[in-house]
Amino acid sequence: MKEGEEKERERERLPPIANLPPPALDRGAKQHFPSFSTFISNVSQKRDTGSQNFSPQFIHPGGRHVRELPPICPDVRQKQRISIDTLPIEAKAPFPSDPVIPLRTKTIKEFQEDVERATASGDWRTVQDFYLTTFDSFLELNAAFKKEANAAFSTIEDSGVNTKFVSTVYDALIHTPPDIQKSVLKGIINMKLAFSYGHDVTAASAVSLQNPQYSSMNTYVIYAHLLRQITALAEADHHFLVHWFKKLSPRRFKALVERLLNFISTRLLPARPEELPPMAKCSWWIPSATKVLALLNAANSISTPPIIPFTDFYNLTLDHIDIMEDYQTWQTHGNSNRFSFCQYPFILSTVTKKAIIQRDSEQQMISMARQSLVDKVSRRQRVDMSLLFLNIKVRRQQLLSDSLDELSRKRADLKKKLKVTFVGEAGLDMGGLTKEWFLLLVRQIFHTDFGMFTYLKDSNCHWFSSWKCDNFSEFRLVGALMGLAVYNSITLDIHFPPCCYKKLLSPPVLPCDQNMPVGVTTLTLDDLQQVMPVRTKGLLSENAHFYFSQVFQEELGIIKSYNLRPGGDKIPVTNQNRKEYVQLYIDFLLNKSIYKQFAAFYCGFHSVCASNALLLLRPEEVEILVCGSPELDMNALQKVTQYEGYSKVDPTIRCFWDVVLAFPLELQKKLLHFATGSDRVPVGGMTDLNFKIAKIDVSNDWLPVSHTCFNQICLPPYKSKKEMKQKLTIAISNAEGFGLE
């Protein structure tokens, strides 16, 4: 018999999942719960404000809000429910009692012993009986894994499931004979046929989701229906699931996330499309998987610390599709029933988000340029193609003032492609002049003598100076520079703390006593710790004695004291008001004392990056877009390096890479800073650096030279690794400033 016919017969042996009826929906309960996207949005808002707990706004004991999903079988019709109160007395019957969960007493140790005996003897009947019974129904599943057979599921702190036993059973399953694994899948199909709602079913769904068999594409049809049923649960049940997911070990949690991401990738771009149902018949697969992934992301967001890095939720397959169509769908329909990946931005990588921001900016720029062309043609004026660019002309001696004047005069052009000209210097800007302009400006603005920013050694970051002045336009320039860097793929050597980016993404608010809007968000002690760790330590000291006036700021060399409350110098801090004092202290240092400086900075950034695409970003992702990624991969850099005067097999080049790859991380960062002006990697990775090593015919006594504007190192023809290491280490360790030449 041919292999294809055998597979077809095997499918016929399984119950036809495609014809399963949809779960019964309680239409009368919709008003009690928000939509799925609202639920997930609420979780994200709680994450941003630092709250560890959340709950739906409305929980009705008799209501179950279920999202309307396309019926699996179009011929199925839901019956009208009749309230028992409307029936005559003689027609009424007592409610059936909840089913009693059968008692199962097998322990982890007993199960493991059964598996060991079966492995040794080849007789798997005892183990097979356990799997057949356990996965026969939700009732049996709960019986096997619940800590107490008939205990209620009523707490977010404990699902009542013996998670260690679940892990042991699933770990053993993938090593059992194929007939046992098939019997488990058939049992799961039976559970789908008998699906109903309730906390017991919610817990059983969480258990079913951990089945490692769903990693195989052969089980995707069953997996998809499980995901759909989980998304159709009530919002209250999603609430329970989120908190139960928090209790999983990082390894189990990550396995769930990876399984869902692989499912989405395979359905989106299948290697063997013929092995999956046509997309037209299963268009709900990807939305269902993404929504379950959103529950896991919510669990990760409210965990302190997060269970896994937020980057583990990225689906890199989406980097290779045209995401703009999805973005336009989101722009048009928002968080409606029309699915788009942009509704769930945690799944989009920073590379994808950067592409969206740049494409969105380009579309706005093209629209503006088209209108300018139409205006000129209608007035019969000469068309100048320079109007397609943001043209900046500056004098080196007046770099800051000229840049400020140019950006102020050309605010309408800030979204256009940037081109820089240094007055009195020949040459076209092919990218090098633009980067040099950025590097020189940042170097000047962040110099401590300039006074705009204070460098905090304890946290290795810059923070806004609190001195007062009449003109904060320089801060607006810094914000605009950061926005321009994002749009023009320039990595800036800027070190702001994470709370700066959190404030930058917060919605604008205009206080009644101020004239500039600024992003306002609730900042916490953790935020202050990232900026001023020493102050935070003193603030938490139990032996310290404070008054509500004791906030000291150094402004232009003068120490000043500020009251946090009227008459604060007479109000001592006690255990009763310490929490209030700490929050006022944080708010003063990170918000009020630098309000005008940050407001100008905020307006400058958003004058360039005014786009709905910003709503897709996390604060950490804004930092990566502006400053690059701190993750270095010198092997990847070696693969994409270009050579001028050398080839990759020259002895000098071999010595170079032998030395660099053996460097500790700190020296590798110094090398990257020496060559590019930043110790971070662009969002697109090492490929986007366009790194080049050029040969210079000089004495080997010379040190290497760098051209940071072009990401280039000029290397004399050193003859040995010892000589290479010595000269290179001296050069990168003693480069002053940005090493510009």
- Residues involved in catalysis: 709
Q: Using alpha carbons, select from 294, 214, 394 the residue that is nearest to residue 41.
A: 294
- Amino acid (one-letter) located at 428: L
Contacts 24+ apart (CB under 8 A), 82-90: none
Distance between CA 493 and CA 201 in Å, rounded?
Answer: 53
The Cα-based distances of 410 to 406, 416, 418, 482, 607 in angstroms read: 6, 10, 11, 16, 11
350, two tokens? 């920073």
Q: How many CB atoms within 10 Å of residue 400?
A: 15
Are 258 and 250 within 8 A, CB to CB?
Answer: no
Q: Using alpha carbons, select from 605, 610, 401, 623 the residue that is nearest to residue 484.
A: 605
The Cα-based distances of 444 to 60, 399, 400, 484 in angstroms read: 60, 9, 8, 17
Q: Using alpha carbons, select from 327, 319, 298 the residue that is nearest to residue 310.
A: 298
Are 415 and 365 within 8 A, CB to CB?
Answer: yes
Q: How many CA atoms lie within 13 A of 462 on its CB side?
A: 19
Q: Using alpha carbons, select from 459, 734, 492, 523 the residue that is nearest to residue 626.
A: 492
Helix axis angle, 350-378 to 473-487, nearest 10°:
100
The kind and range of the H/E element at 300 are helix 285-301
Distance between CA 103 and CA 547 in Å, rounded?
Answer: 62
Q: Which residue in the block uniquely carries the two structure tokens 């020259």?
A: 650
The Cα-based distances of 231 to 291, 340, 382, 553 in angstroms read: 7, 16, 59, 52
Are 491 and 628 within 8 A, CB to CB?
Answer: yes
Q: How many CB atoms within 10 Å of residue 456?
A: 17
Helix axis angle, 125-134 to 163-173, nearest 10°:
120
Distance between CA 539 and CA 544 in Å, rounded?
Answer: 8
Q: Using alpha carbons, select from 693, 677, 678 the residue that is nearest to residue 637.
A: 693
20, two tokens? 């399963």
CA 673: distance to chain centroid? 26
The Cα-based distances of 369 to 381, 612, 726 in angstroms read: 15, 21, 53
List for the chain the helix, strand, coil content (%; round to 5).
55, 5, 35
